[in-house]
Amino acid sequence: MIRTLNVIALVVAVALAAALYIAKTEAKSAQERLETIQAQLAEERRQINVLNVEIAHLEEPERLRQLARQYLGFEPLDPAREITMNDLPLLVDRREDEETLRGDMVLAGQAQEELPAQARRAGGPR
């Protein structure tokens, strides 16, 4: 009976040793993957910082002014060229005017058609 217990204990010990070895190697490979991912994350953050600095340089107002002058011929406006709201012409909505004019013409046309009909009824010239 002691031999059977010794064999069972030995099998359990070997199984536990194998499980411990497998867990250790998996933990080591997981640690290596974590370090790789952390290194990639650090590189991505560095690239993001480089791009933010580049964006800040590209959006610099003085640089944009210089490029607008060089390639587009734009110049800053004189304050003397600014106008106030009172200087702007009064604009009328032309669509409303045209609709009113059309409506008046339709009414005038109807009135002209009614005149000959009234004259015929009254016995006047045709």
Q: How far apart are CA 43 and CA 33, in angstroms?
A: 15
Residue type (1 letter), 125: P
Please report the pLDDT score of residue 119 as a whole number: 53
Q: How far apart are CA 29 and CA 27, in angstroms?
A: 6
Please report the pLDDT score of residue 77 as a whole number: 79
| C-alpha atoms less than 13 angstroms from C-alpha of 94 in its C-beta half-sphere | 1
Low-confidence stretches of the chain (pLDDT beneath 50): 126
**Model pTM above 0.75:** no
Please report the pLDDT score of residue 79 as a whole number: 81
Per-residue DSSP letter, 85: G
Please report the pLDDT score of residue 74 as a whole number: 87
Please report the pLDDT score of residue 91 as a whole number: 61
Please report the pLDDT score of residue 14 as a whole number: 96
Q: How far apart are CA 102 and CA 99, in angstroms?
A: 5
DSSP H or E stretch at residue 63 = helix 61-67
